Structure 1
């Protein structure tokens, strides 16, 4: 019975363009983190709105969740749903945290002068907590950056992704379109308030009340707006959707800061419009698009496959890069860009290797054991 259920749930076709767009956004995230050490605040970052990629991921996840599972709950239990999500997400979480732990003691920088005084038991405890994706308490912040996951910073967004998955499976999947629309509307108001008050939506990676509020606000609108979009959208046939949607994603994420320090609210309005209007439009166009050539299909397939591994494996390498910049005061982005390019390419290669030699085999094994 379980085997039949698993095969039934695997029969739905993917949206290849949405897979490709996830990969495009993941690559931009890497460039965002590589440019970040040369900024002094959110006001002067070179890839200024790269943080919005997380909100785009949340919206994509909500859309795909509704498409994949909304009409299958009569064949599936909440428990089997969570097993499938764990199989999909946790293997790369474990690898990403392990890579972060391996690199932790090999990082030597003025940024983290106390790293080599951290006892091994403490790092292993942080690693074990990281494997569960539960946040690390501030008392175990071994890096000193107040991150939920000091060994691999990006784990914070996976924590909120899991919260959205839990809310969907236990409660919100049962909402009518009207009830879901009301929830999405309330979440949009909260998002606009956050963005305009703070000047942006950046944040969510620290385990304190304010940052958890930011993380929850960031996930609630896009994830459940994506779910709503999957239920109400009537797709058309759009040519060259991958090209146009990729350009839109790049324009949104590479857009310079708007308004400056004097008019923070203006950038907040920009973030709000992007998340509430532009991202759903991109997902709609991407879901409506059709592959034009086999080459385009292969590109989207490759980008989709590496997107999640790339997100999880790149940051342990970025820690070394940040340390190098910190240890060589006065470096400019012009001087550092060849090394940044090497790290970007290396991260993509590592992500593909992790996919083929680790993630896919482990998921295949787990599916046999758990489903």
Structure 2
């Protein structure tokens, strides 16, 4: 009989789960409004793209908390299995939903299924299951995305890279060595942001040098900064932590453009300082707060449960909405019902996928694949 390792359960951080859900919903709203923007300058919920960097920092913090002290009883293979079981089922579902929506799409923005061979779409979908980026020659949508059927797959690609670097190397770093890495990564991030042609950190989703530079710059500081934050921070007790952390998250992501078209570097500075200073503060507030009320507990749990599913499944709906908005050019009043329908539909789709697919599949995979049994903790 295989030996099973079981560890004492660790404290759970429900507020961090809730914050992840708040940020995920802000991402959906950001992408909906993006369909109506004429430039980055007039985009409503202007900094919603920073939610990706927030997710990276959250992941680094929680992974350090969950695994730093377990390597004497857990192998690298065990770690990779745990992370694959957590992330990969919804990656696959997101690509399937993306393929279905691509098949039925009809927009002037991109080719229809009559112009793209079905075999090519299916190949892109199958490659997408692995999160291996497709080459530009396989870009069936024309937006130069790593994953043309489900654009947000790019951030999961970098999330996996962060996990691999952590498991193979960075987990062994002393706090001093990790601090040096985080400092240098912060310098790289600031340089990217303030010198960006658009004055922001947007990008990372294409398989070409400039976009890969953006992707790695956006990954390294927040992911490893989250690790360092967990290692060195001393938590306190903060009342109403979920409210204050959620409010700060919404403010940062909804902030209008800084500096206008004449001072693009100012918005880049805002982006980088939000990631380097404000996001760690938000995570600190969330980790320090307590959820005691019945309804607050349920809200945090629901938001945490749907956070990853909504992020990885919403974008095929955004393709459809964007195609409609660009083709029909509706006024804000005309678009509002469809925008709300898209937002609600994304939440319902995420919850349905979670309950009918993700949770049962992950449970089955844990029973089949894991000999190491991690303590009960949500790591997303």
> Does the TM-score normalized on the shorter chain lie above 0.5?
yes
How many Å separate the matches in 1 of 2:285 and 2:3? Answer: 35
The equivalences for 1:1-371 within 5 A come to 4-5=4-5, 7-8=6-7, 11-198=9-196, 199-329=199-329, 331-371=330-370
TM-score, L = length of structure 1: 0.97
CA contact (8 A) 1:16 1:301 kept: yes
Distance of 2:76 and 2:185 partners within structure 1: 24
8 Å contact kept, 1:204–1:213: yes
Q: CA deviation at 1:105?
A: 1.4
Does the CA contact (< 8 Å) of 1:115 and 1:143 recur in 2?
Answer: no
- The Cα of 1:2 is off from its aligned counterpart by 6.1
Secondary structure of the 2:48 match is coil
How far has the Cα of 1:322 moved from its partner?
1.0
Q: Would you say the 8 A contact 1:39–1:46 is kept in 2? A: yes
Alignment check: 8 A CA contact 1:240 1:292 kept:
no
Change (3 A) 1:106 1:63: same
The C-alpha deviation readout for 1:97-119, integer Å capped at 9, x for no partner, is 00000111100001114542111
Identify if the C-alpha distance between structure 1 residues 321 and 3 changes in structure 2 by more than 3 Å, giving closer, same or farther: farther
* Greater than 3 Å deviation, 4+ residue runs: none
Does the CA-based 8 Å contact 2:104-2:113 persist in structure 1? no
Structure 2 residue ranges without an equivalent (≥5): 371-380
Gaps of 5+ in 1: none
RMSD: 1.2
TM-score (norm 2): 0.95
Report if the CA contact (8 A) 1:38-1:332 is conserved.
Answer: no
1:260 Cα shift? 1.0
Q: Tell me which protein shows more helix as a share of its residues.
A: 1
Distance, in Å, in 1 between the alignment partners of 2:37 and 2:43 is 5
Q: Residues of 1 paired with 2:217 and 2:119: CA distance? A: 34
How many residues end up aligned between the 2 structures? 368
Q: Deviations over 1:52-82 (max 9, x none)?
A: 0000000000000000000000000001100
SS of residue paired to 2:44:
coil
